[in-house]
Amino acid sequence: HPEALLPAISAEETTVGDGSQLLPPPVPAVGVRVPETKKSSGSNARGSARKSVSSGKAGRGSFWSRSNQFRKLSDWAFEVVDADKSGHVDKKELYSGLLLIHLNLASYMGPAACRPATREYVETIFDKMDDDGSGTLDRDEFADVMAVLCGQVMTRVVLQWSMTLMIVPLLAQFVLDGVVWANKSALEFWAQVDAVHLAWDHIVDIVSEFAEEHVPSMLWKAWDEACRYWTMVPESVLEVLPLTLLSCVLGGIAVPYMLFKIDDFFHGMADKKRDGKKKKA
């Protein structure tokens, strides 16, 4: 103990002439260490908390891109695409992996997933997601690209199946009902006009006489044969035939148009992701 090292002082040595008592000399703090207050620990904890919150904000995205299933799919695709095991993926490896994903999806989802994006489109998305401009993608950048491309494929599949099975038939039925109503209304209107009705009958007679005189007999025979086969078709088939034909026409026009619009939509989504990263930086 530090006090044991000091010499003993008697009462006479600490008394002055007037009898007053002197105070004992201060005891030096030899070998005594005062523990330091850990002020920095609280600030470090607060700093680490701020970092974790900021990293959480930076990692936010859509529900699908933040799910464990998407992370597993992205890691699997990254391992498959990274042929040289360098930890980075270039444009050639990315497009090869995209074709592999399309083949796997096509085995489950049919022809809707068979049409992959063009190489130019994939390279454009690649350039937009390459944050450091290194010409390669790491795992995080690859996950952003996968979010865009996989979302494009799934949207294409859902849209094509929904339009083929529901939207196009309903639209065709609506158009067909409108045509039938317009035709019926026109016939009812013209039937009330006697002059027009007589003129129409006269035109039909003229066309029939002209066809009998100038159309070869062979064509008439072919026409009679076609009419005979037409009468053999069941009425149930004839009732749905206009709807089927119109659905095929609308499907051949509307579905490709919507699929091309999907590419434009996800192109804009890639621009938004890139702009969001620049704002955070």
* pLDDT band with cut points at 50, 70 and 90 for residue 281: low
Q: In percent, how much of the chain has pLDDT > 70? A: 60
Where residue 269 falls among pLDDT bands split at 50, 70, 90? low
Return the amino acid letter for 129: M
- Domain boundaries in the chain? 57-160, 164-258
In this prediction, residue 276 carries a pLDDT of 67
Indicate yes or no: pTM above 0.85.
Answer: no
pLDDT at 52: 34
CATH no., domain 57-160: 1.10.238.10
pLDDT in tens, 23-61: 444 444 444 444 444 434 444 433 443 333 333 333 444
Q: How far apart are CA 253 and CA 250, in angstroms?
A: 5
Contacts of 161 (CB under 8 A, 6+ apart): 112
The pair phi, psi for residue 8, each rounded to 5°, is -75, 140
Q: What does the pLDDT read at residue 63?
A: 56
pLDDT tens, residue by residue, 213-265: 777 777 878 888 888 888 888 878 777 778 788 888 877 787 777 767 776 66
Token reading at 162: 């929904």
Contact at 8 Å (CB) between 65 and 41? no
Task: Give dist(CA 209, CA 10) in Å, integer.
Answer: 156
In this predicted model, which residue has the larger pLDDT, 17 or 129? 129
